[in-house]
Structure 1
């Protein structure tokens, strides 16, 4: 099973816009203080490579490899790294369950919002552990959809979350992965004393960030593979996804609108 088999979003414009905004500061701050200039890092599920390039800038005497199952998005990652002038980075297509690297190859193995789409996250974690060096780190951060909160209360957003759970779990994934990453790491064989579990959030509350986040979800509901999957699997109708997109637009227009995304994080020492 490959990582993209269960990926419900595809790699359309709204997806790349969201993923392309991510940085170490907002998506891997829990790991940042552990980085050293000479580290070798594997970024699994790197997408358009913005976090990967950030890693490369933090390890100028080291090397970073970004891998993703979707070959097309890797061209975006290479272009981004070239635009930033980052040379100590490379990108390759890979399957998270069968990484083409020897045991103990990397000081840090990182995955951001990847395990939630997998049928067997424990197997994936065992593979991430395999390619990490003794004394190295496996770092994982996952969203937790049931932990999302927003204001004002809009009925359509509750329905949107219910739909997301149906689509994600129907594809074999787990949208509430954030609360499970510690449990998954234990099941994968990491000793409890080797794991540091933390949380962090994204918050959208300004006019600009509300418009951006709402626009991403309106587009996903109306144009992305998420919409196609939701309708084809019988989780929603065209009329329903249009209704939910209007709910997102209504939320974004509220001056007191606020949306917070909970993430669970683990740093596992190997």
Structure 2
């Protein structure tokens, strides 16, 4: 059974708040990728590494009341919160969450869509896991993966040295613990190694400055939340960098006061259909509502 690495940023309340900011920033790209892949009403979706359920809820909006979404995550606390969110959104009948590991998860019915966001980067053998999970799809099923590359160390223009120093720390705890901070460019090779066809891949770079507070809030908050995994991984942090609660606001003020533009991690969306022959309808036998 293939176990994935521990989620480096943990499961604290502050991390859950950061994940909410992240979802607001990147979900438009996730949605575009899902639509481009052909996700449509009536489909049944498996969301791996579902976390708080953001991608599951997004998929539920695309498949509608005739579809169904199963989200899996191995953290019970995240699954509990995801269930509450789906209930509050009025989607408890069409979205369900299970505590499960991607290396051993099984399901009695086949899915139309397999989706994952920021999950392959943590797996010790992503191609093998993707191959196994693709076997849970129908013959004409769709695989959709959203990953990123946050190894850019000069993200500000005009240059803001303070911002760049914090942002440059992002990859370090991942590299120190075996996760892959630049997994996005590896998606095509991973799909091929999993026995899938060459996927269609699109990229997007989130840019923040004036007029895009969602991206700026996400990036500045992550600069603070990265401290704990840095310390845990034993990464040396420059003494002059402070990670107090005021850091996100200081960084936001810095960007806005200088009229600067800062770019976040490059987003990669890859999708492929298992079979070239696309059926005009989707069977939903065995799915309870």
- The TM-score bracket by the shorter chain reads 0.7 to 0.9
Of 182, 191, 197, the match for 2:197: 191
Matched, 1:83 2:85: no
Match of 1:63 among 57, 60, 68: 68
Normalised by the length of structure 2, the TM-score is 0.80
- The worse-fitting range, judged by mean Cα deviation, of 136-145 and 6-15 is 6-15
2:11 matches 1:6: no
Q: Summarize the Cα distance change of 1:259–1:173 in structure 2 as closer, same or farther, 3 Å threshold.
A: same
Deviates more, 1:116-125 or 1:132-141: 116-125
Aligned length: 261
Alpha-carbon distance between aligned partners in 2 of 1:128 and 1:28, rounded to the nearest angstrom: 21
Q: Which residue of 1 aligns with 2:110?
A: 105
Give 1:269 deviation, angstroms. 1.4
More helix by share: 1
Deviations, residues 191-250 of structure 1 (Å, cap 9, x unaligned):
22xx211112333223634652354224404xxxxx333224321248365269887655
Q: Would you say the 8 A contact 1:128–1:138 is kept in 2?
A: no
| Match status 1:220 vs 2:221 | no
Equivalence map 1:164-179=2 (5 Å): 164-179=170-185
Change (3 A) 1:251 1:19: closer
Give me the whole-angstrom Cα distance separating, in 2, the residues matched to 1:114 and 1:240: 33
Residue 38, structure 1, aligned to residue 42, structure 2:
yes
Aligned residue number for residue 124 of structure 2: 119
Change (3 A) 1:269 1:90: same
Q: Distance in 2 between matches of 1:115 and 1:128?
A: 12
Of 134, 142, 145, the residue aligned with 2:150 is 145
In structure 2, the partner of 1:203 is 207
1:20 aligns with 2:26: no
Structure 1 unmatched ranges of 5 or more: 222-226
Q: Which moved more, 1:150-159 or 1:31-40?
A: 150-159
Cα distance, 1:47 vs structure 2: 1.2
Q: CA RMSD in A?
A: 2.7
Q: Give the superposition deviation at 1:56.
A: 1.7
Deviates more, 1:151-160 or 1:258-267: 151-160
Change (3 A) 1:48 1:163: same
Structure 1: 4+ residue segments shifted above 4 A:
243-250
**Equivalent-residue separation in structure 1 for 2:247 and 2:84 (angstroms):** 35
CA pair 141-244 structure 1, distance change in 2 beyond 3 A: farther
